[in-house]
Chain A
Amino acid sequence: MNFKFALFFGLTVAVGAPAFAQKAVEAPGGKYAKEAEQMFRTSFKAENPKYWMTRLEQDETMKTCQQYRDNPPRKIGEKLEKLNAATIRYPVDGKLIGDWKEGEKLAAVGTGGHIGFIQPDPAGRVRGGNCYACHELARKEVAYGTIGPSLSNFGKVRGKDEDTIKYVYDKIYNANAFTACTNMPRFGLHNWVTPEQITHIVAFLIDPESPVNRD
């Protein structure tokens, strides 16, 4: 029953999504999009230091995703995926799977990176992967979000071969390499976490000893 449903669902997505994406949808803002961009840029407090303001800059991926409401035509999506795949960098020692215990800590941390004058994070605040904001992981943590799919038992389901390990590393580093305009942040591209930290999160997902695969 579940398999049949999954088969149907899978095919519907595989066949339906590209066709749907081709339908021309007006860019948000329509003819005012340019003016809206100007207005947005000039809406910030003058006291924001310049290096904070650089966070408003958009690369090609961000701009394109905005224009297509995160649902670009397949051709454009493929172009973005290639562009993003080319950004992925690996740890110098080449080891893509680290320590799941470190990964478990990083998965839970949602702080870091907040700026502004009202409630900024204190300097040096640890930044984590904040995985639980969007994904179910270890079953013992019930406060998980549902923006992304459940990753419980990820390693059990997907195995721990080299391809899978590389896939998970790459996905965390730059999820746009696989799905253009995905909701998932590009953790590696933005140096939000280091390549080494990514290997720990990979371990948290894949290591058979990790609570992700044991609970």
Chain B
Amino acid sequence: MIRRLMKTLVGVAVFSAFAGGVAAQDSKVADELAKYREALADGNPADLFEVKGESLWLEKRGPNNASLEQCDLGQGPGKLEGAYAALPKYFKDTGKVMDVESRLVHCMMTLQGFTLAEATRQWYSKPGKDSDIEALVTFIGAKSNGKPINVPATHPEEAKMAKMGESIFYRRSGPQDFSCSICHGQEGKRIRLQDLGNLTTKDGAGFAMKTWPSYRVSQGTVWTMQRRLIDCMRQARWPEPAYLADSIIALETYLQKTATGTVMETPGIKR
């Protein structure tokens, strides 16, 4: 046992002898990445989504020929300032904790008369097929730019949802033994060159959550938080969650609660 420990210690010592050079190389890579991100931030294509989202918000559409102007996203009908930053939230009228997307779809159904299938058919865009939801969420999100994330989860249903999100965050399964926590439960790690936030802390969750929805350069479109988290499950090699599923809303509630107090910088732009 002691022999094994000594062997390990010597191993660690030899490794740390190499560590100096590694650190220098790491910071060089990080500098290059910072420059890349700076270049991206200059002119965010998400601005176009925001403009389109606003006109969709105001346009009379659907079987009821109604606009979304009376939609209540938690701050009262038509009140958009800071609404995104305070979601997910418990809504009395549905008896459910809802995120921005489930609430938006609810408004499209109740105010405009769309069916669920119609409202969610194009919930994410494909090449040549734009998504109204991406545009609307970008517009709604931008109305929270500069506002602090505010999901204290004080309502019992919200508190419960945040706890359930925490449970899912640590849940390991699949052919790679993954959980959210494997990549997002530690400080200062990278996967390949991508920095990974520690989403269990306010700083880490805040840094991650404040820039959504975000324009993804590699995808050529805006991703909503539903899209982002459903893709996390794809990367975990799990089956595909249903759009607006409770498990996704639970994760959002957990993350927004952890991030609460962080000032929003949205729409964001990412790799």
Q: Identify the A interface with B (CB < 8 A).
A: 2-3, 5-7, 9-11, 14, 27-33, 35-37, 39-40, 42-46, 48, 52-53, 55-58, 61-62, 65-66, 69-70, 110, 113-120, 132-134, 136, 142-147, 149-150, 152-153, 157-158, 176, 183-186, 190-192
Give the docked Cα–Cα distance between A190 and B176 (Å). Answer: 8
Q: How far is the CB of A59 from chain B (nearest CB, A)?
A: 9
A114 and B234 in contact, given A10-B8, A28-B169, A66-B170 (Cβ under 8 angstroms): yes
Q: Does A70 lie within 8 Å of B185, measured CB to CB?
A: yes
Residues facing A in B218-258 (CB within 8 A) are 230-231, 233-235, 237-242, 245-248, 250
Give the nearest-CB partner of B194 in chain A: A145
Q: Does A142 lie within 8 Å of B29, measured CB to CB?
A: yes
Partner of A40, one of B13, B171, B175, B176: B171
Q: Cβ of B164: which chain A residues have Cβ within 8 Å of it? A: 29, 32, 35-36, 39
A-B contacts, 19 of them at CB < 8 A, read: A2-B19, A6-B16, A11-B9, A28-B167, A28-B170, A45-B239, A45-B240, A55-B174, A55-B238, A58-B171, A58-B173, A66-B172, A116-B233, A117-B240, A119-B231, A147-B190, A157-B11, A157-B15, A190-B175
Q: How far is the CB of B178 from chain A (nearest CB, A)?
A: 7
Q: Does A56 lie within 8 Å of B176, measured CB to CB?
A: no
Q: Does A145 lie within 8 Å of B181, measured CB to CB?
A: no
Tally B residues with Cβ within 8 Å of A. Answer: 64
Is residue B14 contacting chain A, with contact meaning CB distance below 8 A?
A: yes
Partner of B19, one of A150, A176, A183: A150
Give the docked Cα–Cα distance between A11 and B9 (Å). Answer: 8
Q: Does A43 lie within 8 Å of B248, measured CB to CB?
A: yes
Give the nearest-CB partner of B167 in chain A: A29
Q: Identify the B interface with A (CB < 8 A).
A: 5, 8-9, 11-19, 22, 25-26, 29, 124, 160, 163-179, 181-183, 185-186, 188-194, 196, 230-231, 233-235, 237-242, 245-248, 250
A44 and B240 in contact, given A66-B172, A143-B193, A147-B190 (Cβ under 8 angstroms): yes
A30 and B11 in contact, given A66-B172, A69-B170 (Cβ under 8 angstroms): no
Q: Cβ of B178: which chain A residues have Cβ within 8 Å of it? A: 185
Give the docked Cα–Cα distance between A176 and B177 (Å). Answer: 10
Q: Does A32 lie within 8 Å of B175, measured CB to CB?
A: no
Q: Does B240 lie within 8 Å of A115, measured CB to CB?
A: yes
Q: Does B18 lie within 8 Å of A152, measured CB to CB?
A: yes
Q: Does A133 lie within 8 Å of B246, measured CB to CB?
A: no
Give the docked Cα–Cα distance between A46 and B245 (Å). Answer: 12
Q: How far is the CB of B38 from chain A (nearest CB, A)?
A: 20
Q: Does B15 lie within 8 Å of A149, measured CB to CB?
A: yes
A145 and B234 in contact, given A10-B12, A36-B163, A116-B240 (Cβ under 8 angstroms): no
Most buried by A among B8, B16, B183, B239: B239
Q: Cβ of A116: which chain B residues have Cβ within 8 Å of it? A: 230, 233-234, 238-240
Q: Does B176 lie within 8 Å of A185, measured CB to CB?
A: yes
Most buried by B among A33, A136, A176: A33
Q: How far is the CB of B204 from chain A (nearest CB, A)?
A: 15
Give the docked Cα–Cα distance between A192 and B25 (Å). Answer: 31
Q: Does A56 lie within 8 Å of B174, measured CB to CB?
A: yes
Q: Does B5 lie within 8 Å of A58, measured CB to CB?
A: no
A56 and B17 in contact, given A29-B167, A157-B11 (Cβ under 8 angstroms): no
Partner of A2, one of B17, B231, B234: B17
Q: Does A48 lie within 8 Å of B250, measured CB to CB?
A: no
